[in-house]
Amino acid sequence: MDRSTHPRLFASAPLLMLVLAAGCASGRYPVNGRVTYEDGSPVEAGPVIGEAEVNGKLVGAQGNIAPDGTFSWGTKNAGDGALPGDYRVAVMPVALGDSELAEGKQPAVDGKFTRYESSGLTFEVKAGPNELNITVTRPKPRSRTN
């Protein structure tokens, strides 16, 4: 086949190569998962965040939890994946307002999971698809003193 018989094929080849290279060049890999309580019920909202040192730079990834507890990490755009590396992970429940706290409502997740230093959660993002399933606990009920 010569260029004169299929000019569109040869004209579109560079464009195709550019599109393929752009997808591979991001270096990010999909990270999907689910956040549940010990009883298997889902955490219904809030972000799951991670940070890692990659090539001497601190990088982050996050994904918002859907009502069924699922999430997908992204770095630049929602769900676009994360760079390979060892991540510290935290789960951030939706913040309660002063009136909700005054009513005695509790955050959705034990406070230890909201900080990298105390969550105990780590995850290694590797080349290819990654699955990050997290089990958290609810906060202990506060004792009321009058």
Q: What is the dihedral of CA 96, 100, 103, 109, to 10 degrees?
A: -20
Q: Quick check: is 142 in a domain?
A: no
Q: State the residue range of the domain holding 30.
A: 25-136
**Domain total for the chain?**
1
Half-sphere exposure of 91 (CA within 13 A, CB side): 34
pTM for this prediction: 0.78
Q: Quick check: is 5 in a domain?
A: no
Residue-wise pLDDT for 61-96, tens only, equals 999 999 999 999 999 999 999 999 999 999 999 888
Residue-wise pLDDT for 93-127, tens only, equals 988 889 988 898 899 999 999 999 999 999 999 99
CATH number of the domain encompassing residue 128:
2.60.40.1120
What are the Cα distances from residue 11, in Å, to 17, 21, 23, 96?
A: 11, 17, 20, 57
Q: Quick check: is 91 in a domain?
A: yes
- What are the E-state strand segments in the chain? 31-37, 47-54, 57-64, 70-72, 85-91, 121-125, 130-136
Query: Residue 23's pLDDT is what?
Result: 39
Identity at 121, one-letter amino acid code: L
